[in-house]
Chain A
């Protein structure tokens, strides 16, 4: 009974862990087609993959990706009257993004076969 009561919470926790684990890949993917500033990245993640990130956490994460040499940044004067800090992938960031995407694709494709009976059962 205790185990059954714990299940929804465990499932929520699992979902959060999956989202956390995929955040770095999602950011690299969002920057794949061009440079974006922080707020645009947040919007891209929310619109493209429903990945809602607390706003205060994206900037330290971008700062870390920059320190690791995966992204670079530059200040650009905007029409709005204030400058914006744009991020773009470095060559190393593109390599890392491609590697992560390849692993993700292979992993999820392999998992698909296992999940099929679960989906039929769930219908």
Chain B
């Protein structure tokens, strides 16, 4: 009888275990589309056997642990690739904008420069023409507007990036704090010997996000807590302590500071990774370079035209007037490329003539200025004005093309790694369905077994009657 009771008991454990397993399968199916979910499985273990005289008999089965399918290696790789993907991602939006500003259509700064010198060339054929003189001045003004438009658009791109950085930082701080909280929860759960599966899944997911935006590095300490730092080693999360990122606006640019344990540190570009690194690089290196080039071009063009113009005579017989405002030494807080302005107030001041009589047919200085387009080389280079500009456009084009390629590559790589991860940790409905059948049959057989034991016991009890 004791052994029958034992059999009843082991049948019960089997019922419970199969039921538990089916619950876990149900949970897996429920989470089939949950991002970052790792498939869980019941780890079954037989209950230690008991010695019955000469031999041991098993006492049934139990769920010893609910573990998750998880590969540290794949997850690490995914994290690394996410950093690269984030960096290219951070560049791509602004580069698309820059491509629009430095376009290759028939209406860009190069064509404005062409038009300006073309107007001078036109003036050489009719130096006394009022219309031709007006056109020269208008072209000069349009050229100035083209310069300041590009400058403003570059500023707008930088401003948009600043706005994006500020809004992004808020969610970042939430995520950093969440990791510290999850660290604590995992520690509490696992101290009792269980695995905090869902908390770990959640933490991995946030780390993937943080890798993409900040390029963080992580390591796990002996309590199962994940420590997170910036690429340069600045700590974001230590155990259950989270640091905060603050944005500070210096001039027009937004920079990042880290507030950790009462002190505030500047976060330099080298300490950033992922999307933020990409954005800061475009803003502080790439756009800054374009601005510099644009200023060089503006200063060089205006001073080259002025150097000739100042020696020519206007139709009023006066000389010594520059055509553009002098921007070779810009005032502080002023951007040269925004200050390309025609200095003349009247078309009679356009200096086409070489001789003081300023005879109406005298076109020698108009010729000289018109020829600057082909003969002048921007200082320090071997480029004419429009070649210098096309080099800038090419720089943008090369960077955008590289970014395009790298973005595609890293995106493919992350997708593959995600597939690899899902191939290992993801929920496959087919697998779950088969498991479901398996556990269902297990449950049914246990029930059958119990019924059989019950019949045996009834038979025993009827012996007496």
Do they bind each other?
A: no
- B interface residue numbers (CB < 8 A to A): none
A residues near B, CB below 8 A?
none
